[in-house]
């Protein structure tokens, strides 16, 4: 509904005309869609316009898609609006124009076109400046979701993402209008993105979004985090006790080793932790298939860690080693031999000149006269 004030009777005709223009919404037919690009054909867009300045569609205008079911005579039997989906005009010609599609649905236009089914798009112009968003579970029993974080950014950029706040006790939060007519809302819980909802603030006073109930996944994540911390503590204590027990067995200190083996057997075992894990998983069972897959993945990863790091074989082996070491006869220890300083061998006595054997003097070398020193005969 469009309401415009008029203060003078002479202005009534012009004001009524402007109200009619504001209330008019162009209708287009979906010609084709490829990924995120949609081509629309404006109804009666081929008719000539008397005033060229009277443009019905401009770049940046927003269209809301819908599906119309006709009867045999071509009359509308049912019209369904495709939720959480908008088209934003990018390129425009007198009859055809291309739009960028933003949707929370994977394939909003994937339905097969039949003779009595039409895919249409209606231009929307918000009359208000805010919309209240209410978050609710999509599985039975349905209830509102309080304490969920809501962010907003323009459709063409995530660089200017703003934190709008958290949903109240009734699961609602007010979304004000921004510079761009479309705002993409991101709903998070515990840092996990649950939904991406494009809306036109002010177009409807209230919107209800059914999203996965992430409280159970968050509870499962908290439980798994605590259990993995317990697993790490048990693993470290096991390794320390095993190392000490092996050392005592090597040194023949069997009583000390037996005490450590008793401590090892008193630690939480893998079967006990697996039993707790199964009980908690049954408590956190959910009818939501998407949330259930995430919860099952958390528990499956933890089971893998338990199987890997809490193998009971090392504890059983150290117990067998202790029994085997005790059954062996004690080895006879030979007393250590005291090392004595080596006896010094008597130094040889010095020989006196009388006891020294006589030495034969070496004859001097014979002198040979050379022929040069002989006198001539």
Q: Does 184 lie in the same domain as 256?
A: no
Residue 98 lies in a domain: yes
Per-residue pLDDT for 46 more than 70?
no
CATH number of the domain that residue 197 is part of: 2.60.40.1120
Q: What is the pLDDT of the chain when averaged over all its residues?
A: 85
Among candidate residues 81, 85, 102, 93, the one with its CA nearest the CA of residue 41 = 93
Q: What is the pLDDT of residues 91-107, one digit of tens each?
A: 887 678 899 999 999 88
Boundary of a domain, candidates 211, 243, 259: 211
Boundary of a domain, candidates 69, 94, 124: 124
Per-residue pLDDT for 244 more than 60?
yes
Per-residue pLDDT for 115 more than 80?
no
Q: What is the pLDDT of residues 249-276, one digit of tens each?
A: 999 999 999 999 999 999 999 999 999 9
Its domain, for residue 37, covers 9-47+55-124
Residue 367 lies in a domain: no
Q: Return the ∠ at Cα 213 (arms to 207 and 218), rounded to 5°.
A: 135
Residue 354 lies in a domain: no
Choose between 216 and 183: higher pLDDT.
Answer: 183
Residue 332 lies in a domain: no
Q: Does 176 lie in the same domain as 223?
A: no
Residue 343 lies in a domain: no
Q: Does 269 lie in the same domain as 172?
A: no
Residue 134 lies in a domain: yes
What pLDDT is stored for residue 48 in this prediction?
A: 63
The arithmetic mean of pLDDT across residues 30-36, rounded, is: 89
Q: Does 73 lie in the same domain as 136?
A: no
86 CB burial (10 A radius; 0-12, 13-18, 19+): buried
- Residue partners of 168: CB distance under 8 A and separation at least 6: 146
CA dist., res. 227 & res. 274, Å (int): 10
Q: Does 195 lie in the same domain as 285?
A: no
Residue 370 confidence class, pLDDT cut points 50, 70, 90: very low
> Other CB atoms closer than 10 Å to residue 9's CB: what's the count?
7
Per-residue pLDDT for 363 more than 80?
no
By percentage, how much of the chain surpasses pLDDT 90? 56
Q: Does 269 lie in the same domain as 225?
A: yes
Per-residue pLDDT for 112 more than 60?
no
Residue 318 confidence class, pLDDT cut points 50, 70, 90: very high
Q: Does 293 lie in the same domain as 229?
A: yes
Boundary of a domain, candidates 124, 147, 162: 124
Q: Does 169 lie in the same domain as 154?
A: yes
CA dist., res. 373 & res. 376, Å (int): 9
Per-residue pLDDT for 86 more than 90?
yes
The arithmetic mean of pLDDT across residues 70-79, rounded, is: 88
Residue 111 confidence class, pLDDT cut points 50, 70, 90: low
Tokens 């660089």, located at residue: 159
Domain count along the chain = 3
Residue 376 lies in a domain: no
Choose between 313 and 139: higher pLDDT.
Answer: 313
What pLDDT is stored for residue 109 in this prediction?
A: 85
Q: Does 120 lie in the same domain as 13?
A: yes
Q: Does 229 lie in the same domain as 191?
A: no
Pairing of strands 117-124, 62-70: antiparallel
Residue 82 lies in a domain: yes
């Amino acid at each position: 509904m469009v309401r415009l004030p008029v203060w003078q009777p002479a202005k009534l005709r012009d004001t009524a005309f402007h109200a009619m223009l504001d209330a008019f919404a162009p209708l287009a037919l979906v010609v084709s869609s490829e990924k995120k690009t949609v081509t629309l054909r404006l109804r009666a867009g081929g008719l000539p316009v008397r005033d060229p300045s009277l443009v019905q569609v401009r770049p940046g205008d927003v269209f809301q898609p819908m599906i119309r079911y006709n009867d045999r005579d071509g009359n509308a039997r049912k019209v369904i609006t495709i939720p959480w989906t908008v088209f934003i005009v990018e390129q425009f010609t007198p009859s055809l124009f291309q739009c960028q599609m933003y949707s929370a649905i994977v394939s909003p236009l994937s339905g097969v076109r039949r003779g009595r089914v039409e895919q249409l798009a209606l231009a929307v112009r918000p009359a208000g400046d805010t919309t209240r968003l209410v978050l609710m579970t999509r599985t039975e029993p349905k209830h509102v979701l309080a304490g969920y974080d809501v962010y907003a950014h323009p459709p063409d950029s995530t660089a200017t993402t703003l934190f709008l706040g958290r949903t109240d006790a009734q699961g609602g939060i007010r979304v004000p209008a921004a510079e761009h007519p479309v705002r993409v809302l991101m709903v998070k819980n515990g840092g996990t993105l649950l939904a991406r909802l494009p809306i036109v603030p002010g177009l409807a006073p209230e919107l209800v979004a059914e999203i996965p109930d992430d409280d159970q996944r968050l509870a499962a994540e908290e439980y798994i985090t605590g259990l993995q911390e317990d697993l790490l503590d048990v693993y470290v204590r096991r390794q320390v006790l095993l190392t000490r027990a092996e050392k005592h067995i090597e040194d023949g200190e069997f009583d000390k080793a037996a005490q450590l083996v008793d401590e090892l057997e008193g630690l939480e075992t893998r079967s006990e932790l697996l039993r707790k894990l199964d009980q908690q998983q049954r408590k956190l069972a959910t009818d939501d298939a998407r949330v259930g897959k995430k919860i099952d993945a958390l528990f499956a990863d933890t089971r893998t860690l338990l199987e890997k790091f809490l193998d009971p074989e090392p504890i059983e082996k150290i117990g067998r080693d202790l029994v085997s070491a005790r059954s062996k006869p004690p080895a006879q220890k030979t007393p250590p031999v005291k090392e004595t300083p080596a006896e010094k061998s008597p130094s040889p006595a010095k020989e006196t000149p009388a006891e020294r054997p006589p030495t034969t003097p070496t004859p001097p070398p014979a002198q040979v006269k050379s022929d040069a020193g002989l006198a001539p005969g």
